[in-house]
Amino acid sequence: MEQTDDEWSRQLTRQIGQRVAYFRERAPGRMTAQGLADRCAALGHPLDRSVIAKLERGHRNTITVPDLLALAKALGVPPVLLVLPLGRELEADALPGQRRPTWELVKWFGGRGAFPAPDPDPRPSAGNGTPEDNQAYLASAVPLLHHDEHDRLVLDWLWEQGRVDILEEAAAAATTEQERSAHQGRLGDVRRRLGDLERLIADLRTRMRGDGVLPPRLPVVLATLIGEPAAGADAG
């Protein structure tokens, strides 16, 4: 028998409540329901202890997005882990009567793949809608893809920047000219890599603006090097 929307909504809320309890009980010091309520209140979204208790016991039929976000922050977990049982169940119900692999659903939830097709379709993230539906989904996910690439490039830049400091100290402490020359050679390679990354980051930010995507803030030094405002902000 097909699952109705009301049944699915109650089931999903019950599962979220179970995950809230799971993460609360595993928080440092074994957080109490009152402790979780206090954290939510400190975040500006009060949730009474009795409300949390009812949610965890499966006595609530719905949960709001503000409640979900506040609980995730208070518990210190990604919101998606309250919605989907990643790492604990191989499959989950994403929509009424539509059970799919949990990891594929997490990727869909986070904008990294189309809604997964039912088995036995072997294509990764093939989706179960029309090609136009999947194309529209991927187009809407462009900001996420841009930000993923931006994070990767900036993290690479920060890593290489840290290597500069290490190699400069090593060159200064070298006791022979050969050792000093070796460190300086590696330092030159790292600085060239930094220059390449700075160009890639600047080009990506230009593409982001061209796609109508507001680039995120940059570290002050990096922003200055690529000719953006010193604060790293983007005015739009």
- List, as one string, the DSSP characters of 136-184: HHHHHTHHHHHHHHHHHHHHHHHHHHHHHHHHHHHHHH-SSHHHHHHHH
Query: 37-65, pLDDT tens digit by residue?
Result: 999 999 999 999 999 999 999 999 999 99
Query: 67-105, pLDDT tens digit by residue?
Result: 999 999 999 999 999 999 998 899 998 888 889 999 999
Distances (CA, A) of 209 to 51, 61, 73, 152: 44, 42, 30, 18
Query: 26-37, pLDDT tens digit by residue?
Result: 998 889 999 999
- Confirm if 71 and 43 have CB atoms less than 8 A apart: no
Mean pLDDT of 129-147: 72
DSSP for 94-107, written as a single string? EETTEEEEHHHHHH
- Measured distance CA(195)–CA(225) in Å, rounded: 9
Q: Which residue has the higher pLDDT, 19 or 125?
A: 19
- Confirm if 96 and 2 have CB atoms less than 8 A apart: yes
Largest CA distance in the chain: 80
Query: 164-223, pLDDT tens digit by residue?
Result: 999 999 999 999 999 999 999 999 999 999 999 999 999 999 999 999 999 999 999 999
**What pLDDT, on the 0 to 100 scale, is given for residue 39?**
96
Its pTM stands at: 0.71
- Measured distance CA(211)–CA(180) in Å, rounded: 46
Query: 209-220, pLDDT tens digit by residue?
Result: 999 999 999 999
- Measured distance CA(82)–CA(100) in Å, rounded: 17
- Token pair belonging to 169: 């100290």
Helix then strand count (H, E) for the chain reads 10, 2
- Measured distance CA(102)–CA(108) in Å, rounded: 10
**What pLDDT, on the 0 to 100 scale, is given for residue 3?**
64
**What pLDDT, on the 0 to 100 scale, is given for residue 14?**
96
Q: Report the Cα–Cα distance between both ends of the chain, in Å, rounded.
A: 51
Mean pLDDT of 160-165: 94
